Amino acid sequence: MTSEQKTALAGFLDTAGDYLGDGYRRPRENYAFTDDTVGTGDTLEEVAAEICACRSCPLGAGRTNAVPGEGVKNPLVLVIGEGPGQDEDQTGRPFVGRAGQLLDKMLSAIGLNRQENCFIANVVKCRPPENRDPAPAEAEACRPFLNRQIACLRPRMILCVGKVASNLLLGNTEWVTIGSLRGRFFEYPAAPAVPLLATYHPSALLRNEDLKRPAWEDLKLLRSKLEELTST
């Protein structure tokens, strides 16, 4: 609850108390409320443990391992994909297959890696059957976990890889292509102060090498924005 919401509620309760009492308006206090902080008291380890125990949607029943995410605390960049694949489901680690290996190379090209300054996660934490796209209900079931991770991590930027993750995070009711989203920054409602950039999923680059150039332009844009943010 925000400080404004708390002040409004306190005012309502004061007025109700006057009405239910003698009907006279009493002097009001000057309240000094502060905003509640989403995720207060959470740790990444606690969130990960809850993810591994979660059965909130059908994906939990079919997984081998949940995949909470991997990387450093307080990262420069939080990378978010759509969901684990077969390799990730087997290992419990995000982006470890061919697409993950390419992602690591892409990040390394602009001085980023999951060992030093990135955290890598997914919209959903369990593998969808046959690697299908996560259903909206499955993404919504996992969204509180992702939001709590963001609150714990406090990244400087978010990089969404792929159409699925980007459209789900941006709340688009009609999905659009990465070509329509890339090249500009957005806000994720759970972290409005954190710039969000969308780019192609590494698996798309493996299928179509023509996408490597625009993806590289996106990475350079990310690097430029990071330099701007970290220099202030």
Report the pLDDT averaged over residues 102-127.
97
Find all residues with CB under 8 Å of 153, minimum gap 6, and list them: 44, 73, 74, 75, 78, 119
Encode pLDDT of 196-227 as tens digits.
999 999 999 999 999 999 999 999 999 999 99
Least confident of 6-15, 73-82, 85-94: 6-15
Picking from 126, 104, 123, 129, the residue whose alpha carbon sits closest to that of residue 115 is 104
Whole-structure pTM value: 0.81
Q: What superfamily does domain 39-230 belong to in CATH? A: Uracil-DNA glycosylase-like domain (3.40.470.10)
Would you list the domain boundaries of the chain? Answer: 1-36, 39-230
Alpha helices, DSSP H only, in the chain?
3-20, 44-53, 59-62, 86-91, 98-108, 136-153, 163-170, 178-181, 202-207, 212-230
Per-residue pLDDT at 28 exceeds 90: no
pLDDT of residue 173: 86
Per-residue pLDDT at 123 exceeds 90: yes
In which band, very low, low, confident or very high, does the pLDDT at 146 lie, cut at 50, 70 and 90?
A: very high
In which band, very low, low, confident or very high, does the pLDDT at 11 lie, cut at 50, 70 and 90?
A: low
